[in-house]
Amino acid sequence: MSETLTFMMGDFAAEILSDRLYAKNHMWAMPMSDGNIRFGFSAYAVRLLQDIYFIEFSHEPMAQLKNRQEFGSIESKKAESGLYSPITGQLVQINEQLLDDPSIINVDKYGQGWLIEMHGDSSEMLTPQQYLDHLSQAWDVAQRTIKGQANTMDSEDE
């Protein structure tokens, strides 16, 4: 069993598994025995999205994707967003189970809730510790944004 690192999002603990790599767009990466890399959402991303209920893939397997290229979309209780490739490479497989039941991501984000498999170079990915450092910076920005919006709302109420 792999070691688990923890990032605190207020009262919520987001678990970061140490047996994976991570992308700045909050996806985990797990190298597979066939040389492909499986990707899914980190606990941080799932917590921010909350209750994922729709996913759509806009590219079929064997498509070439560039880093940060949109390959689908996702909808949840909190957001609608594009899905962006964490690396440049070939899309080998999509998790078709998610098309019927995207809520699998909510309950098994590091297992059956994976999104895609790609063949490509993962050398730009972050180690678990680098991802924790990235989360600290991202969380600070998110907190300031939330507080700024709250302060703006407070001043509008006056």
Q: Report the pLDDT value the prediction gives residue 156, as an integer from 0 to 100.
A: 44
- Least confident segment among 92-101, 107-116, 120-129, 137-146: 137-146
How far apart are the C-alpha atoms of 103 and 113, rounded to whole Å?
A: 8
What class is the 4-157 domain? mainly beta
Q: How far, in Å, CA of 136 to CA of 151, rounded? A: 22
- The phi and psi torsions of 106 (rounded to 5 degrees) equal -65, -35
Give the pTM.
0.86
pLDDT in tens, 104-133: 999 999 999 999 999 999 898 999 999 999
pLDDT in tens, 5-51: 888 887 888 899 999 999 999 999 999 999 999 999 999 999 888 89
> Where exactly are the structural domains of the chain?
4-157
The SS3 assignment for 30 reads: strand
Task: For the chain, give the mean pLDDT.
Answer: 89
The single-letter DSSP state of residue 88 is S
Q: Which two tokens stand for residue 108?
A: 């098994």
Q: How many residues does the chain have?
A: 158
Q: Where are the beta strands (DSSP E) in 2-115?
A: 4-9, 12-17, 21-22, 27-31, 37-41, 52-57, 64-65, 70-76, 80-84, 89-94
